[in-house]
Amino acid sequence: DAKTTQPPSMDCAEGRAANLPCNHSTISGNEYVYWYRQIHSQGPQYIIHGLKNNETNEMASLIITEDRKSSTLILPHATLRDTAVYYCIVRGTSGSRLTFGEGTQLTVNP
């Protein structure tokens, strides 16, 4: 699975949009981009995933660049409860494991 690079930490004001970037320049054609988050030692929580089109669900939006080498997770109106470590993971269809990196610690400030 392709390696991902994320900033170690980010801050966001409550109510504002949080934009979390991820680089995955070695992604291959059949690999999906997944985003999970982990709130203080709880189990990781699935947020969203995509292949090449932008995706939106009730939690977030995922913007994938046309060349698929990077993506951005957008939390449109961040709340204090969105404070967590956010993981960007690239995974192919044939493998089963998720490989977690260090992720981005997002802190939402009041």
Partner 1 sequence: EPEVTQTPSHQVTQMGQEVILRCVPISNHLYFYWYRQILGQKVEFLVSFYNNEISEKSEIFDDQFSVERPDGSNFTLKIRSTKLEDSAMYFCASSSTTESYGYTFGSGTRLTVV
- Positions that interact with partner 1 (CB under 8 A): 32, 34, 36, 38, 41-47, 49, 87, 91, 93-102
Spatial distance between the Cα atoms of 101 and 51, rounded to a whole number of angstroms: 20
**Residue 10 or 51 having the CB closest to partner 1:** 51
CB of 41 to partner 1, least distance (A): 6
Please work out, in degrees rounded to the nearest 5, the angle formed at the alpha carbon of residue 51 by the alpha carbons of 49 and 52.
Answer: 120
**Residue 16 or 46 having the CB closest to partner 1:** 46
**Residue 14 or 51 having the CB closest to partner 1:** 51
Contact 88, 2 (CB under 8 A): no
